[in-house]
Amino acid sequence: MLDIRFIRENPDAVKENIKKKFQDAKLPLVDEVIALDAQNRAAITEASELRSKRNSLSKQIGILMGQSKKDPSKKDEAEKVKADVVAINERLEGLEALETELAEKIRRIMLQIPNMIDPSVPIGPDDSCNVEVQRFGEPSVPGFEIPYHTEIMESLDGIDMDAAGRVSGNGFYYLTGDIARLHSAVLAYARDFMIDKGFTYCIPPFMIHGNVVEGVMSQTEMDAMMYKIEGEDLYLIGTSEHSMIGRFIDQIISEDRLPLTLTSYSPCFRKEKGAHGIEERGVYRIHQFEKQEMIVICRPEDSMAWYEKMWRFSVELFRSMEIPVRQLECCSGDLADLKVKSCDIEAWSPRQQKYFEVCSCSNLGDAQARRLKMRIKGEDGKMYLPHTLNNTVVAPPRMLIAFLENHLQEDGSVTIPEVLRPYMGGKEVLVPKK
């Protein structure tokens, strides 16, 4: 969410930013919110002047009532002044109601106006315009056919989607045996990897209130992703970033605590609406999964440096597991409304002979901090808004697709890279059972 003063002083820049995000339907919102803001400020000014006048008249009433003991006519004057005060109070009551109404209208519109994107963001309407920046590791295609990922898992007796369908419906799964162990091993390795980078490990609440949801994401994202608990003001989180950033709602943080570098584990729950292609069956798009996340809260001047560090942590993690990846810069039309800049880390799929998303790194500027009323108290005592960033460390089971395809051998076995062996009880290879 932008500062209303910024919109007031830079309406053309805000409109140009909306055009760059290909959201022209939102252009009228800029003039609308500026007009409402002017009306609101006029109401606030009038109310302030009336309160000042009321205070002056109240003092005058006291004086007149004191004088009325000697001069009874002063009492009549006091009654006239009291009538003026009553009229002022009635007007103030109307103005205060108007201020409340206007403030809510302004807030609703402000929630819809997208954040200002960074000048480095490529311009394009959708993800087809995302730009490959660089590759890490050589993608390869083996000389044998690679089965679909659920077939590899089934050969290892590691998945049961039929039973999950009977129990929970489509988009759910049972992981079993070595695949379940591999899933947990990757999460544990990712946790320790981030701890070694100096991040503090956290396990957050898996449900959050509606005001926190509104603070961390746009209405469009919420409608597409979030599950609401019926009859309660609670939503299941779609990623631990939601509750991790929400932890600081209405809080004042001392500047000497910055940067806050946190890594969190959570299950994640998503609607995942819409039809998907054949390669997105199995465990690619699912309603429930687990994830290790990284979150940074920092000074505004440090956020781009942290953005660079964070996506590189993802690259380092995947390369340590011998999986080729690339960095893909997200274009303007592919950025969620709160994001200033974002990139995906995509893993190589030997089966599809292309890359697919496994991590997403985002700099949200001060948008979440402004919505959540999160403030930093500087050494000089002044308050300012921090910047917030988030990035996926690893999100199995989708990550397992890349892992299994890149480590599958011709005989159907799956090799375990050295960094994961301590988390797999020393196993160096998974052998097919079917």
DSSP assignment of 39-102: HHHHHHHHHHHHHHHHHHHHHHHHHHHHHTTT-THHHHHHHHHHHHHHHHHHHHHHHHHHHHHH
Close Cβ partners of 305 (under 8 Å, ≥ 6 residues apart): none
d(CA 253, CA 369): 11
122 found inside a domain: no
d(CA 231, CA 275): 29
pLDDT score recorded for residue 383: 96
Residues 182 and 329 both lie in one domain: yes
Residues 22 and 164 both lie in one domain: no
pLDDT score recorded for residue 147: 94
- Give the amino acid at 181: R
CATH assignment at residue 67:
1.10.287.40
Q: How far is C-alpha 146 from the geometric centre of its chain's CA atoms?
A: 36
d(CA 51, CA 113): 34
The number of distinct structural domains making up the chain is 2
SS3 call for 123: coil
Q: Which of 75, 110, 145 is the last residue of a domain?
A: 110
Residues 324 and 387 both lie in one domain: yes
Residues 58 and 151 both lie in one domain: no
Residues 238 and 351 both lie in one domain: yes
Residues 70 and 203 both lie in one domain: no
Predicted confidence (pLDDT) per residue in 111-157, tens digit: 999 999 999 999 999 999 999 999 999 999 999 999 999 999 999 99
pLDDT score recorded for residue 73: 76
407 found inside a domain: yes
Residues 65 and 162 both lie in one domain: no
423 found inside a domain: yes
Residues 34 and 95 both lie in one domain: yes
Residue 15 tokens, joined: 């409109």
Closest CA to 91 of 50, 53, 132: 50
Rg (CA), the chain: 29
Task: Answer whether 213's CB lies under 8 Å from 222's CB.
Answer: yes
Q: Taking the CA atoms of 10, 16, 21 and 25 in sequence, report the sign of the dihedral they define.
A: positive
Residues 137 and 86 both lie in one domain: no
Q: Which of 58, 84, 110 is the last residue of a domain?
A: 110
Phi/psi region, residue 186 (left: phi>0; alpha: psi -120 to 50; beta: rest), is alpha
Task: Answer whether 348's CB lies under 8 Å from 374's CB.
Answer: no
Helix (H) or strand (E) holding 380: none
d(CA 225, CA 235): 10
Predicted confidence (pLDDT) per residue in 188-220, tens digit: 999 999 999 999 999 999 999 999 999 998 877
283 found inside a domain: yes
117 found inside a domain: no
Q: How far is C-alpha 356 from the geometric centre of its chain's CA atoms?
A: 21
Which regions of the chain are under pLDDT 70?
273-280
Closest CA to 370 of 245, 210, 203: 245
Q: Which domain holds residue 36?
A: 4-110
DSSP letters along 227-268, please? Answer: EEPTTSS-EE-SSHHHHHHHTTTT-EEEGGGPSEEEEEEEEE
Query: How many CB atoms lie under 10 A from the CB of residue 314?
Result: 26
Residues 282 and 375 both lie in one domain: yes
d(CA 202, CA 225): 23
> Which whole-number Å values give the CA distances from 111 to 106, 147, 434, in the listed order?
9, 45, 53
Q: Which of 48, 83, 110 is the last residue of a domain?
A: 110
At which residue do the structure tokens 């560090």 appear?
309
CATH assignment at residue 161:
3.30.930.10
d(CA 156, CA 151): 9
34 found inside a domain: yes
119 found inside a domain: no
